[in-house]
Amino acid sequence: MMTALIRIARPEILAGRRVALAALVALGLAGCNTSGPETTGSIGDRPAAARQNVEALAERFNANPEDGRAAVAYARALRANDQISQASAVLQQAALRNPKDTFLLGAYGKSLVELGRYREAIDVLANAHSPAAPDWRILSAQGSASAQLGDQARAQGFYEAALKIRPNEPSLLSNLGLSYALSRNLDQAEQTLRLAAEQPGADARVRANLALVLGLKGRTADAEAILRRDMSPAEAAANVASLRKVAAEPNRLKALSKGGVPGEG
User: If you average pLDDT over residues 252-256, what whole number do you get?
Assistant: 61
Of the candidates 132, 128, 154, the one whose C-alpha atom is nearest the C-alpha of residue 143 is: 154
Of the candidates 54, 122, 119, 118, the one whose C-alpha atom is nearest the C-alpha of residue 90 is: 54
* CATH code 2.60.40.1840 for 51-166: no
- The pLDDT confidence band at residue 173, using thresholds 50, 70 and 90, is very high
pLDDT at 35: 35
Q: What fold, for 168-257?
A: 1.25.40
Give the N- to C-terminal CA distance of the chain in Å, as an integer.
Answer: 22
Share of the chain above pLDDT 70, in %: 74
Q: How far is CA 123 from the centre of its chain?
A: 19
pLDDT at 247: 78
pLDDT at 242: 86
pLDDT at 23: 33
Contact at 8 Å (CB) between 111 and 95? no
Q: What is the pTM of this model?
A: 0.77
Looking at the chain, which residues constitute the CATH 1.25.40.10 domain(s)?
51-166
Lowest mean pLDDT among 7-16, 64-73, 191-200: 7-16
